[in-house]
Structure formats: C-alpha cells, structure tokens
Amino acid sequence: MNLEVFLDELRAPKGAPGGGAASALAGAIGCALFQMVSGITLSLPRFAENKDKLENIHAESEKLFQRFLKLTEEDTEAYKQVELALKMPKNTPEEKDARRRAMQNAFRLATEVPVQVIETAVKSMALLPDILTYGNPNAITDVCVGFYMLDTAIRGASANAKINLISIKDEEFKVACNKKLEDAQNAASQYADTLSHAMKKAGLE
C-alpha cells in the first residue's frame, strides 16, 4: 500500500486502520530516517573508518523498518478481529460464551500487536548511540526527528495497548504487558537523555 492510499484509508470514517497502525507507521518513519543518515554517511569518504558500524546501523534499520510495516498491517487485522467478535450473536448461553471467548482472544491479539510495536521501537532506539557517534553530525536533526517518531510509536502503541487491557480478564497477561510498557517508557526516557545531550553539544538546545 502506498502512502497516499494508506492515508486515505486512515482518514476514512471506519475503525481501522487507526491510531495503532499510525503508531507502527511512525516507527517505520523513524527507522527510515536512521537508515537515511547511515546511508548518507556511508557515501562520504571521510567516514570510511566507521564503515562496519554504519553498515550495521543501516542493516538493522532496514530489518526494523520492515517489521514496522508488517505491524502496521497486523494492527489493522487485529482490530478487525475485535469487530468480528463484537458482532457475534448472543441469544443463547452457548452463543454468549463463544462470543465472550472470541472477544478475549481478539482483545489479547489487539494488545499483543501494539506491545510488539513498542518492543520494535525500543530496539530501534538502541541504534541511537551509534548513530550519534558514527553518523554525519550534519544530519543530527534527521536523527532527532527519527527518534521523535520512534517515541511517538511507543506513546501511541502504549495508549492502544492500555485501552485493550481494560477488557482483558487474564490478570497475569495484564501484569506482564504493563511491565513491558513500563520498561519501554524507561528505556525511551534514557535514550531521550542521550539525544538531548547530543543536541546540547551541537548547540541545538
């Protein structure tokens, strides 16, 4: 799906794609910017001594970019499963029980996908220190925007995960997911400090 088609789908008056898919797309944009910076730096002879590091950043960014694109589609499909479960009949005790189980499975999937978006965003943020160290310093604002997009992915996916967790009865699953959200937010905060330090050093803060 090209960008214009996706955005037309996003602005349509229907439930999916929605904020979850948009969060995953934000992550993909963040990785794309990291990949752009590493690619530009690799093309410049004066950074040749950092070739191995830059190639690793470039390759990892590509993997994570592709993962985000897949998660954009998976989030839309997960929401459709919730919609299907909600439309199930509930006229008899058996139908009510089947609907209840289907809803729990659907809400669980609709939580797991944004959690994967969050985990992918944190993995992407882990590239930040090397990009700041080995990347072309003239591209620091591109790195900055890339990080902000990854942070948006975490914030958006966290909101989606939390609203779905409200409907889930499995307390063990809820505790595990909330722990992942907390860990991701802590990691993002630490990487934000790393970026802030680099921005100050560059005279941009």
Is 174 exposed, middle or buried, given 0-12, 13-18 or 19+ CB atoms closer than 10 A? middle
Token pair belonging to 182: 């907390």
Assign domain 17-201 to a CATH class.
Answer: mainly alpha
Report pLDDT for 2: 84
Tens of pLDDT, residues 92-123 = 999 999 999 999 999 999 999 999 999 999 99
How many residues would you count in the chain? Answer: 205
The rounded distance, in Å, linking the Cα atoms of 71 and 4 is 18
Tens of pLDDT, residues 142-192 = 999 999 999 999 999 999 999 999 999 999 999 999 999 999 999 999 999
**Residue 145 burial (CB count, 10 A):** 13
Per domain, the residue ranges of the chain are: 17-201
Residues 28 and 69: beta-carbon distance below 8 Å: yes
